[in-house]
Amino acid sequence: MINLEAPKKAGALINQAYQAAAEVFRPISRKYDRAEHTYPTELDMFAALLDGLNSSGEGGAGAAGVRRSGSDDDAKGNRNGANLNVVLGTIEMCWGDVGLLLSMPRQGLGNAAISSVATDEQLERFSGMWAAMAITEPGFGSDSAAVSTTARLDGDHYVLNGEKIFVTSGERADAVVVWATLDKSKGRAAIKSFVVEKGTPGFEVVRTEHKLGIRASDTAVLRFENCRVPRENLLGTPEIDTKKGFAGVMRTFDNTRPLVAAMAIGVARAALDETRRILTSAGVEIDYDRPANSQHAAAAEFLRLEADYESAYLLTLETAWMADNRKPNSLQASMAKAKAGRSVVEIALKCVELTGAYSEESLLEKWARDAKILDIFEGTQQIQQLIVARRVLGKSSAELK
């Protein structure tokens, strides 16, 4: 039986992450929202502290990826491990500021991708690297199978050609995990991921985007023109298995989608906490012992939003628990991402509506802008619903589009 409560042993980590969010992130949140494309230097010392926690096995406060264990010992009993720790830590940190979390050195979504599919040798070689992830291209948005960036084997190198857009931390990161196809004629099965380090000839950061939200983080357009990448930087196996298809690189999303769901939950809780404070100071009582329809309309709406938040939170914890216990979680990862992404947008906007916090005097205005990207990147709402439908109905991507 799964117990969807934060385990007691995670209490210290949750408290540390909360303190960091309250003492480090919140005080500079508006500063870097206004100073878009300025690197938050305050994060350097904090990132070094997180590195120490992660190397000691006590980590989880950041967004770095975690790896499923394959040992028989880990299969016994009920485990609450690294996946749950990362999710719980991410929630707390994004209560502080999601854009600043995405700006943390060595905590990129590309790190989660490396963790998902890298060999043990690659894990060691790329240890300590800050990795972004590049999937989306000008010719497609959420259909990851439509990758047109090519990777051609030439001796000991793969030659990459193509363009990637909307790459979070694409300018600041040490490397980028790039999705490219080895052979377009073989479809999805030929799509592989490559670690491309900054400074590699043929790798260019074209520009950084001006954005609606998460302005503390950089979002870049990247170009690869005859970019030679060592063949050992291909993550996982180079073989094209048409029977296995897209499953190899898609395992990345089993790690990253729960992280994005956790980010959404952190922002939603921040909005709810601030709204509760404002409503209470205005004399609106939120009473959990009375039916919602017998309370102030603002209190009733708040209770509805809080229930929506709780359901997204529990779905996300379930997904992390499944990963820790070596259970397939692709369906649950998409469910959590869809639910949390949709919920955070509605919660943040409704909180602005309930409080009238439409100016920069309140962080609610900022959180309403930050929220939308959490419903878009790592697969839009519509894509997640399509994946869930395929899983539930037992349909292939060709059968249900």
CATH number (domain holding residue 14): 1.10.540.10
124 Cβ contact list (under 8 Å, min separation 6): none
Active-site annotation holds for 378: yes
pLDDT at position 245: 52
Q: Dump pLDDT digits (tens) for 340-369.
A: 999 999 999 999 999 999 999 999 999 999
118 lies in some domain:
yes
The pLDDT profile of the chain, 401 residues, written as one tens digit per residue, is 456 678 889 999 999 999 999 999 999 999 999 999 999 999 988 777 666 555 555 444 444 454 554 544 455 667 878 889 999 999 999 999 999 999 998 878 888 888 888 889 999 999 889 999 999 999 987 777 789 999 999 999 999 999 999 999 999 999 999 999 999 998 888 999 999 999 999 999 999 999 999 999 999 999 999 999 999 999 988 988 765 555 556 777 888 899 999 999 999 999 999 999 999 999 999 999 999 999 999 999 999 999 999 999 999 999 999 988 989 999 999 999 999 999 999 999 999 999 999 999 999 999 999 999 999 998 899 999 999 999 999 998 889 98
Q: What's the CATH code of the domain at 382?
A: 1.20.140.10
227 lies in some domain:
yes
d(Cα 389, Cα 384) in Å, to the nearest integer? Answer: 9
241 lies in some domain:
no
Residue 3's region, left for phi above 0, alpha for psi from -120 to 50, else beta, is beta
Q: What's the CATH code of the domain at 217?
A: 2.40.110.10
Q: Domain range for residue 149?
A: 131-233
Q: Report in angstroms the alpha-carbon separations of 318 from 80, 95, 324.
A: 11, 20, 10
Instruction: Note whether 260 and 364 are same-domain residues.
Output: yes
How many other C-beta atoms lie within 10 A of the C-beta of residue 252?
A: 26
Instruction: Note whether 270 and 372 are same-domain residues.
Output: yes
Instruction: Note whether 271 and 384 are same-domain residues.
Output: yes
Instruction: Note whether 183 and 290 are same-domain residues.
Output: no
**Dihedral sign of CA atoms 123, 321, 144, 104 in order:** negative
In 3D space, the residue among 109, 106, 96, 86 whose CA is nearest the CA of residue 32 turns out to be 96
d(Cα 92, Cα 255) in Å, to the nearest integer? Answer: 18
Burial 149-159 (b: 16+ CB within 10 A, else e): bbbeeeeebbb
Of 125, 143, 164, the last residue of a domain is: 125
d(Cα 41, Cα 76) in Å, to the nearest integer? Answer: 44
Angle 363-374/247-281 helices, nearest 10 degrees? 160
Instruction: Note whether 371 and 276 are same-domain residues.
Output: yes
399 lies in some domain:
no
Joined together, the tokens standing for residue 28 give: 């500079």
**Dihedral sign of CA atoms 327, 56, 63, 160 in order:** negative
CA atoms within 13 A on the CB side of 312: 32
d(Cα 302, Cα 285) in Å, to the nearest integer? Answer: 11
The helices-and-strands tally (H runs, E runs) of the chain is: 12, 7
291 Cβ contact list (under 8 Å, min separation 6): none
318 lies in some domain:
yes
Instruction: Note whether 254 and 220 are same-domain residues.
Output: no
pLDDT at position 67: 55
Instruction: Note whether 89 and 179 are same-domain residues.
Output: no
Instruction: Note whether 262 and 370 are same-domain residues.
Output: yes
139 lies in some domain:
yes
CA atoms within 13 A on the CB side of 111: 22
The DSSP letter of residue 232 is G
**Cα Rg, the chain, nearest whole Å:** 21
Q: First and final CA of the chain: distance in angstroms?
A: 35
Domain count, the chain: 3
pLDDT at position 370: 98
Instruction: Note whether 286 and 155 are same-domain residues.
Output: no
Of 125, 151, 182, the last residue of a domain is: 125
Is 341 strand, coil or helix? helix
Is 318 strand, coil or helix? helix
206 lies in some domain:
yes
Instruction: Note whether 265 and 383 are same-domain residues.
Output: yes
d(Cα 344, Cα 264) in Å, to the nearest integer? Answer: 6
pLDDT at position 163: 98
Residue 181 in contact with residue 146, Cβ under 8 Å?
Answer: no
E-assigned strand segments in 135-174: 150-154, 157-168
Q: Taking the model in full, what pTM does it have?
A: 0.92
List 137, 171, 301, 378, catalytic entry: 378
pLDDT at position 61: 47
Instruction: Note whether 115 and 144 are same-domain residues.
Output: no
Instruction: Note whether 251 and 387 are same-domain residues.
Output: yes
Of 233, 257, 273, the last residue of a domain is: 233
240 lies in some domain:
no
Residue 119 in contact with residue 94, Cβ under 8 Å?
Answer: no
155 Cβ contact list (under 8 Å, min separation 6): none
Backbone angles phi, psi at 65, to 5 degrees: -75, 160
